[in-house]
Amino acid sequence: MSLESKAKKIKAILLDIDGVLTDGRCGYSENDEIKFFNVRDGHGIKMAMRAGLIVGAVSGRSAKANKKRADELGFSFLYENQKDKREAFNKLLVDFDLKPEECLYVGDDVIDIPIMTKVGIAVTVADSPDYIGDFCDIRTKNAGGHGAVREVLDWLIKEQGKWDELMQRYIS
């Protein structure tokens, strides 16, 4: 099946956080972990939700910054501390009555491979290790935390034929 045909079936976007929504770096203060999220990725997520897509994150780690960003963007789900991300993926399928082929996943490391091999479309970011690409349909041009999520979401929304309608909000 072509990538374009697969894109039309996608109903849910699953995002890794560290290395995908962020550039993978973690800073620490006395009180909290510090992460930097790309605002254009955030706006792309809001656009995807307005296009009717379910959007959320699956992370191997847990951090206050993850929860804050998920709340700020209105994620449909946030599964943290997932050492085996398959459990979160299976929960998502049940919680939202989805089939694996209706999901797109963006990841960047070996912990993401078990989901990448199950979803309809698997994506990795430009700066992930080369071998991660062996498990993906798409490698972004942009690095994690530097617009990779927006790149994928813009592509998906266009492939699903929802782009022009979404853009009316900005150009009319």
> Using CA atoms, how far apart are residues 100 and 115, in angstroms rounded to an integer?
9
> Using CA atoms, how far apart are residues 105 and 16, in angstroms rounded to an integer?
8
Interval 95-147: pLDDT, tens: 999 999 999 999 999 999 999 999 999 999 999 999 999 999 999 999 999 99
Which is it for strands 54-58 and 77-79: parallel, antiparallel or unpaired?
parallel
> Using CA atoms, how far apart are residues 36 and 65, in angstroms rounded to an integer?
9
Range in 17-21, 31-35, 67-71 the model is least confident about: 31-35
- pLDDT of 31: 77
Domain boundaries, the chain: 3-171
> Using CA atoms, how far apart are residues 90 and 23, in angstroms rounded to an integer?
27
Enter the pTM of the model.
Answer: 0.95
- pLDDT of 25: 85
**Local confidence band at 33 (pLDDT 50, 70, 90 cut-offs):** confident
Architecture label for domain 3-171: 3-Layer(aba) Sandwich (3.40)
Phi, psi for 79 (deg, rounded to 5): -110, 110
